[in-house]
Amino acid sequence: MRWVPKENGFSISLAAARLLARLHDNGPTRISELAAAERCSQPTITNHVKRLEAAQLVDRAADPRDARAWMIKLTKKGNQQLVLMRNSIGTSLEPYLATMSKRDLKALREGVDAMRRLMAVEREAQRS
Domain boundaries defined on the chain = 14-127
The pLDDT of residue 14: 82
What is the Cα gyration radius of the chain?
A: 17
The pLDDT of residue 31: 93
CA atoms of 31 and 110, how far apart (whole Å): 34
Positions in the chain short of pLDDT 50: 1-2
pTM score, whole prediction: 0.72
14-127 CATH fold? Arc Repressor Mutant, subunit A (1.10.10)
The pLDDT of residue 79: 94
* Angle at CA of residue 17, ends 119 and 86, nearest 5°: 75
The pLDDT of residue 125: 80
Helices 42-54 and 31-38, packing angle to 10 deg? 110
